[in-house]
Structure 1
């Protein structure tokens, strides 16, 4: 018989009761905050590489005053722009394999409030990030009348390893995508518990950026997630229509996973006895058809119109590839006629090295996949879809090293939109201007309207049209005028459409 956890009495806190026990949070400037809530059992020991299991109940009042440990990960270089914007929280990052915790912000704890809910999935390539990042403090969005939930999930090999031995012990013969299964478990937790925090379980929007946005695409076709969210916000990634080619089958992913851990241990027992740090340097394993959460190729489901029929808000940043083309991270395994594509971009971008490389990486890795998923979803589901382009330039600190590819600046780089969407400019002590603050208010208002009404239009965004036969590109442009413009991208996208049709 399991003995429940016991906690002492906590004075001067705000308390609520959820399915697994009583929680003590706190009130911060009219917003109620509960941090570090376990939504599944710790995935350690024999639960490493298993589907998330129910959380153990506790006795007494459990403190929910600080975020739980972040998933195990290797952060980007502290001097990099990616780190400076996303991870420079000016406090040590506590990490643990015991990481399945979430955080809740609410303006009203009354069960009758029935407020719309935003559940957020962080980015980071399924290798870095966590729900406690300062950029994702939900206070300013909750102050606009919604409940905000951020979460941790398993990352890297601990979250995505496929292996024949794991499939052999699984009742469905499945393995891999444990991080995605964690998100599904968190969504089930929201359905069961969010009313306690004033949220309406029938009004959940699932949002995310980068890898988080790609996860949303996959969850939109997962049978176990049907009905768990009514709308989606997917920023700067899609998970499909990428140059990598089709998703790996389970057998192919399991074979590759076994090869990657072969030097660490010969049996699952041996692998599960290793410290979590032993897996941090393994190369990332992509999302695959795992046999449990994902039972078929996600891209095929979207093309056939078998994804969830829900409103979608999606978009990209104008210079998504600037941080990646600098380091040569241009991926084109799935496109055989890469030389032809390079020639096209040289012509469209006047053969300028920085513009050519940035545009090629931006489009093939980020923008085209986001655009193609959005237009495919609109046309095969008839659900409303809003597309945006963010091209505002941030006041990057002077001590950030300049671009090394000949470009004048980093432009609107990957993840640059996040402090604006969350209205969290104060999370970074940068030289923010009045136009930054106005844009943050405008975008946070629009995103909150989408969570509340499945439509972002309103003050400042009245003319933002959804995708239609006559509007099939980004109708919402936030920042300066787009460069190099829609015409160049549409010309390149015609060739990308062709190359994808012959390679997939």
Structure 2
């Protein structure tokens, strides 16, 4: 592998080369960071490989250019007038999608060196949207701080998570579903085998992600197959345990859901009742447009419900940093949300409904706390019994441009506040990914958060040289607030989170 003198690139030395187990790559220096894009970490999951665990990538001869991102997984797109689209998907680069999507990307400050800590980032998007090439996930800012950053694609929607009895019959373990989760394991395995060639230390890997990506990380902490592959974890704004929708489906329930989806898909497309062979011949674009899918207890990646694993204290005991935003529910809340409120003594004071404005505020708060804040708090609470854990609360409202064409919140409140994913450009110091009117206070907060995340990636502890103030470990209510000045606090809404525990224990409507 070649390097640069004094860490500076010239017109004649912007190329940088690396080798992997599958062949040689050519990347580019971009300022002080070397970037390799579109690296295959598994075989294309197409044809007979659709709905199968990822296979090893084919070797290649010569030098493969790694200048461009690989295609994103097949997926629909969020509405163009949604805050989620503008915050996460309104990129300058045109979106290219393909079922041949299993590619990852590497940013490294010292490709000729070795021993650097590694962050592997898992994108969010509700298992329907997202990819490793989104501008909001760009790895340069963290790499400039001395970290090797890896982003990746994984299969989404029905292509990534369909469980079906015919698929289980093909599998030597009788497993089906979780193909997207297995893609993440394959990428982590690639990191173990190859990241030293990019300056990284395979023994110092932190798995990090937001939203659905954070939930995947929680599940991988419960999975025995992923344990050798990472030594610390960061989860932003979601959890795989304590979920509002309940524990993961077991294989029997997941297969019933898969059969129902296949029948509905076949009826809508005029296919009758399609078998797996017929579904494998169907255009993948059609398969990802409908249905909501996610991890299940498949018998391969997950052999037990993640809630049960954490309840028993049998999860991977790695340092954990997790947190949520103060208006997580603003994107999703409707007034119907108040119908799910737990009717118990005292809950009317915790979630008041006395007038229209209160109903709207309660609907937003309850949606955010039941879907995001409580599950993450529960994750932190369960994990703090077995390993060091830190909890944060993000409270800064991003400065949306006044002319941004965004549909109003469905709960009727003015504005989205500190919405779901609002922390992303700050935590990864990627404010430049969006042409919004950022202030110096925003830029300062982004530097603080990114520095803190990097300390955790380096050492498994967000405290250390340059850390101010000290971030106490979580034991039930301690959190670090990132808003203006970073400051440790005692959470003031623990009583509502306890009410969420009651809700999580109630029978769920059919």
Q: TM-score of the superposition, structure 2-length normalised?
A: 0.90
SS at match of 2:328: coil
Q: 1:12 to 1:436 in 2, by over 3 A?
A: closer
TM-superposed CA distance for 1:285, in Å, is: 2.0
CA contact (8 A) 2:331 2:419 kept: yes
2:497 alignment partner in structure 1: 493
CA contact (8 A) 1:245 1:503 kept: no
User: What whole-Å deviation, never above 9, does each CA across 1:356-405 have from its counterpart, x for those lacking one?
Assistant: 111100100000000011111112x1x11010000101101213344353
CA distance in 1, matches of 2:43, 2:205: 23
Given candidates 35, 45, 48, the residue that maps to 2:37 is 35
1:438 alignment partner in structure 2: 444
TM-superposed CA distance for 1:284, in Å, is: 1.0
CA distance in 1, matches of 2:380, 2:409: 31
SS at match of 2:279: helix
CA distance in 1, matches of 2:46, 2:108: 31
| Structural mapping, 1:146-185, within 5 Å | 146-185=147-186
2:377 alignment partner in structure 1: 371
| Structural mapping, 1:343-492, within 5 Å | 343-347=348-352, 352-379=358-385, 381=386, 383-398=387-402, 399=404, 400-458=406-464, 459-468=466-475, 472-479=476-483, 489-492=493-496
SS at match of 1:242: coil
Q: Which runs of 5+ in 2 are unaligned?
A: 1-11
Q: 1:328 to 1:27 in 2, by over 3 A?
A: farther
Q: 1:487 to 1:309 in 2, by over 3 A?
A: closer
1:6 alignment partner in structure 2: none
TM-superposed CA distance for 1:239, in Å, is: 1.6
SS at match of 1:352: helix
2:192 alignment partner in structure 1: 191
CA contact (8 A) 1:349 1:355 kept: no
1:76 alignment partner in structure 2: 78
CA contact (8 A) 1:43 1:49 kept: yes
CA distance in 1, matches of 2:31, 2:412: 46
Given candidates 308, 311, 320, the residue that maps to 1:312 is 320
CA distance in 2, matches of 1:437, 1:227: 36
CA distance in 1, matches of 2:98, 2:354: 46
CA contact (8 A) 1:39 1:102 kept: yes
User: What whole-Å deviation, never above 9, does each CA across 1:404-424 have from its counterpart, x for those lacking one?
Assistant: 534232111000000001111
User: What whole-Å deviation, never above 9, does each CA across 1:66-91 have from its counterpart, x for those lacking one?
Assistant: 00000001111111111001000023
CA contact (8 A) 2:352 2:359 kept: no
TM-superposed CA distance for 1:448, in Å, is: 0.6
CA distance in 2, matches of 1:448, 1:421: 10
SS at match of 2:327: coil
2:140 alignment partner in structure 1: 139
User: What whole-Å deviation, never above 9, does each CA across 1:263-315 have from its counterpart, x for those lacking one?
Assistant: 15522111101110111222112311001110111000000001001000000
CA distance in 1, matches of 2:241, 2:282: 34
CA distance in 2, matches of 1:487, 1:20: 49
Q: What is the alpha-carbon root mean square deviation over aligned residues?
A: 2.3
TM-superposed CA distance for 1:496, in Å, is: 1.9
SS at match of 1:277: helix
CA distance in 1, matches of 2:345, 2:248: 24
CA distance in 2, matches of 1:331, 1:181: 37
SS at match of 1:322: helix
Q: 1:480 to 1:355 in 2, by over 3 A?
A: farther
CA distance in 1, matches of 2:173, 2:343: 39
User: What whole-Å deviation, never above 9, does each CA across 1:431-478 have from its counterpart, x for those lacking one?
Assistant: 00111000000000000110001111243543211113xxx2242001
CA contact (8 A) 1:257 1:285 kept: no
TM-superposed CA distance for 1:480, in Å, is: 5.3
CA contact (8 A) 1:324 1:330 kept: no
Q: 1:327 to 1:261 in 2, by over 3 A?
A: farther
Does residue 18 in structure 1 map to residue 25 in structure 2?
no
1:207 alignment partner in structure 2: 208
1:282 alignment partner in structure 2: 290
CA distance in 2, matches of 1:153, 1:267: 24
CA contact (8 A) 1:392 1:479 kept: yes
SS at match of 1:59: coil
2:230 alignment partner in structure 1: 229
SS at match of 1:223: coil
1:7 alignment partner in structure 2: none
TM-superposed CA distance for 1:502, in Å, is: 5.1
SS at match of 1:57: coil
CA distance in 2, matches of 1:260, 1:115: 45
SS at match of 1:58: coil
How many residues are paired up? 484
1:64 alignment partner in structure 2: 66
CA distance in 2, matches of 1:95, 1:329: 35
CA contact (8 A) 2:157 2:294 kept: no
Q: 1:486 to 1:467 in 2, by over 3 A?
A: closer
CA contact (8 A) 1:331 1:365 kept: no
| Between 472-481 and 338-347, the greater mean CA deviation after superposition | 338-347
Q: 1:86 to 1:338 in 2, by over 3 A?
A: farther
| Between 211-220 and 408-417, the greater mean CA deviation after superposition | 408-417
